[in-house]
Structure 1
Amino acid sequence: MHNFLFVVAGLVLLIAGGNWLLKSAVDLSLKLSIPKIVVGMTVVSFATSAPELIVSVNAALDGFPDLALGNVVGSNIANLGLVLAVTILLSPINVSRSFYTTDWPVMMLASVLFFFFIYFDGVLVQYEGIVMVVFLFLFLVYLLRFQKPAVIDLEDEPDVMLPTYKTVLFLGLGGVSLWGGSELLINGAVGLATAFGVSERVIAITIVSVGTSIPELAASVIAVIKKEKAISLGNLIGSNIFNLLAVLGITSIITPVKVVDQGLLSSDIFWMLGISFLILPLVFFPKGLRLGWRDGLLLIGIYLGFVYSTIG
């Protein structure tokens, strides 16, 4: 019972911490006058990926590499199969041209890079982590240099900036909550895996990954409600890129990340590649550059199939 309470308490702290970090991140971007689509792809993505980063680094350092890997792979599947699905069920999204010229190709490239680094030897080592982080850095430089002038902010209402002390306070509270929440979540997840006799990968790919994807869900739903849909899709694609390149890149630079449960290589990684690829045809068919409720139902169905095959 206490393991379940640890997981719940950890998730609550991660959600609160992600929200505080998100507030401070968006406020910083306003102070720096960065356009919304770039904010979604960079600042918001990094803030909502912070739970995955903290959980993965902690898990790898504590000797639970399957939690680190399962958390990221599961989160990437949940971001598209669950979070994007819920978002477009609430309201259709018109997709900008940058989706197929930049965002989706970079996400697929990051996914394929991760696949080649881990599939053949079952371990992510330091130099591979460095390559991933350098790739992320180059992508961010490209985004800020070339996307910034091309984006026109259509928001009518002027955004209200927070006082600087509040921004710093949210940043500090967010960081501390994420760290504490990750400790509780890892302890609870490992305890649950032991109690139920399942592998850490199964717990990571289901409970932990959905838990750490909740900030993405919250950010995307709020973005849709506020009609800031550029942030919504950009946040999810960007978050998947950050999860692979930043979270696993930084984690493997700190300590090698080795696959323990082979199910990650024989099943999970292919689900991640498949659902990432599927987003491209869904954007173009049946209506060009638009995601609607039918796409949402299909993505939810695929996600439920993934969860069933993992638990089954």
Structure 2
Amino acid sequence: MDALFVVLGLVLLIAGGNFLLKGSVDLSLRLSIPKIVVGMTVVSFVTSAPELIVSLQSALRGFPDLALGNVVGSNLANLGLVLGITLLIGTLDIRRSFYFIDWPAMMLASLLFYVFVVPDRMLGRTEGIIMVVVLFIFLIYLLRFQEPAIAEVPPAFVNILPLYKTIFFLGVGGVALWGGSELLISGAVGLATRLDIGERIIGISLVSIGTSIPELAASVIAMIRKEKAISVGNLIGSNIFNLLAVLGITAIINPIHVIDDHLIRSDLLWMLGISFLVLPLVFFPKGQRLGWRDGLILLAVYAIFLYTTFS
């Protein structure tokens, strides 16, 4: 039953995220919000909704390692698994904003989280507020001075839906996310107990990979269609949102205490390492481009991380 709960929870999270995305984008277009703003705020926040709901529910129900492991694991999966697989299908050209804005912002968010959580093994309300404020400053800067770091609204969502469909998508999406998070957390904790492994391991592997499935599907489909709509900057933007929005909001509502020290001594270092690794991969061997060799390196690093986690 625990495994079934995990599968059903992931299905509901993915479906709920898609429904909420459609409804949110349509509502934004009805309010005449510019596409750039929609792409950088609504779309990016909604695609992080599964991580937010799972982390928040985990923290509120007394499973802080599951909350932290979910976000740290999702960031690792976004770069190691999603970007790695995407690069095996085709190459990605890197924009100038990557090494001037996107990558430095991701590293800043990662280091900020590391500095906040390591000294006292917790992420408190004050730290959460600071992280959310930093996110808003970053978004305001992008809106005013830079090209969007988050993908704009997909063409499929440009046509405005009838109002009743918008309300339906928002309602069903919200309920599906809530129900999916309940099932996923119950199943994950049950599996951890049954298999005698920590919540952190379940969160940083199974749960995080599951909540990264929408990003993986979108990236692979876009690359197969040769739309080149997915870039490394988009995944980096997702990682920034996961750290500053998901953990920031969760900590404001309910401070997160670290129970398993492996999150501090190992997982966070892996997250910082793979985040840094993307920069030299962009410049070597051909410069300002990521190809299949880079994809193999990222997948290998992610595989080693999973191996060391379970060993």
Question: Could you tell me the TM-score, scaled by structure 2's length?
Answer: 0.92
- 1:221-300 to 2 correspondences below 5 Å: 221-300=220-299
Tell whether the 8 Å contact from 2:142 to 2:149 is kept in structure 1 after alignment: no
Q: Specify the SS of the correspondent of 2:285.
A: coil
Superposed CA deviations along residues 256-279 of structure 1, whole A, max 9, x for unmatched, are: 101111111110000000000111
In the TM superposition, what is the alpha-carbon distance from 1:289 to its structure 2 partner? Answer: 1.4
The 2-side partners of 1:107 and 1:115 are apart by 12
- 1:17-28 to 2 correspondences below 5 Å: 17-28=16-27
Partner residue in 1 for 2:141: 142
The 2-side partners of 1:8 and 1:69 are apart by 21
Q: Does 2:203 align with 1:204?
A: yes
Q: Does 2:121 align with 1:115?
A: no
Matched residue type, 1:293: W
Superposed CA deviations along residues 153-185 of structure 1, whole A, max 9, x for unmatched, are: 9x9999534334333322222211111100000
In the TM superposition, what is the alpha-carbon distance from 1:7 to its structure 2 partner? Answer: 0.3
Aligned length: 307
In the TM superposition, what is the alpha-carbon distance from 1:74 to its structure 2 partner? Answer: 0.5
Matched residue type, 1:302: V
In the TM superposition, what is the alpha-carbon distance from 1:113 to its structure 2 partner? Answer: 0.1
Identity %: 68
Q: Specify the SS of the correspondent of 2:168.
A: helix
The 2-side partners of 1:150 and 1:208 are apart by 26
Tell whether the 8 Å contact from 2:102 to 2:149 is kept in structure 1 after alignment: no
Is 20-29 or 171-180 further displaced after alignment? 20-29
In the TM superposition, what is the alpha-carbon distance from 1:44 to its structure 2 partner? Answer: 2.9
The 1-side partners of 2:103 and 2:216 are apart by 19
When the two chains are superposed, the root-mean-square deviation of aligned CA atoms in Å is 2.4
Question: Could you tell me the TM-score, scaled by structure 1's length?
Answer: 0.91
Tell whether the 8 Å contact from 1:40 to 1:232 is kept in structure 2 after alignment: no
Gaps of 5+ in 1: none
Matched residue type, 1:105: P
Partner residue in 2 for 1:166: 165
Partner residue in 2 for 1:80: 79
Q: Does 2:35 align with 1:34?
A: yes
Q: 1:210 to 1:149 in 2, by over 3 A?
A: closer
In the TM superposition, what is the alpha-carbon distance from 1:228 to its structure 2 partner? Answer: 4.2
The 2-side partners of 1:150 and 1:298 are apart by 24
The 1-side partners of 2:149 and 2:203 are apart by 39
The 2-side partners of 1:148 and 1:308 are apart by 38
The 2-side partners of 1:55 and 1:49 are apart by 10
Q: 1:69 to 1:237 in 2, by over 3 A?
A: same
